[in-house]
Amino acid sequence: MNIAIINEVVEQLKIMPQHLQWQVLEFARSLVKVEMQGTPGQQLLRFAGSIPPDDLRLMQEAIEQDCEQIDTSEW
């Protein structure tokens, strides 16, 4: 816990109107409820190298050919 940060937040809260103080409180509460989602990279390392080199080459070629091109009739 960083006391300097907490103190700075408190100082800023002291000069805010009450409706903004409520917004900060609700935001802080929402941050506490946020859960990390996804899979840690360490668990994905077992898949490293599992795509065959030929497939990687094909994917790279498709990206290079099709990226940054606009199909005006698509919309």
Q: Which tens digits make up the pLDDT trace of 2-20?
A: 899 999 999 999 999 999 9
pLDDT (tens digit, 9 = 90+) per residue, 43-72?
Answer: 999 999 999 999 999 999 888 887 767 777
pTM recorded for the entire structure:
0.45
Residues across the chain: 75
Nearest alpha carbon to residue 6 among 24, 18, 33, 30:
24
Helix and strand counts by DSSP (H, E) for the chain: 4, 0
Domain ranges of the chain: 3-32
Q: How far is Cα 70 from Cα 17, in angstroms, rounded to an integer?
A: 48
List the one residue out of 28, 30, 1, 2 whose CA is nearest residue 13: 28
The residues, ordered by sequence, that sit 6+ positions from 21 with a Cβ below 8 Å of its Cβ are 13
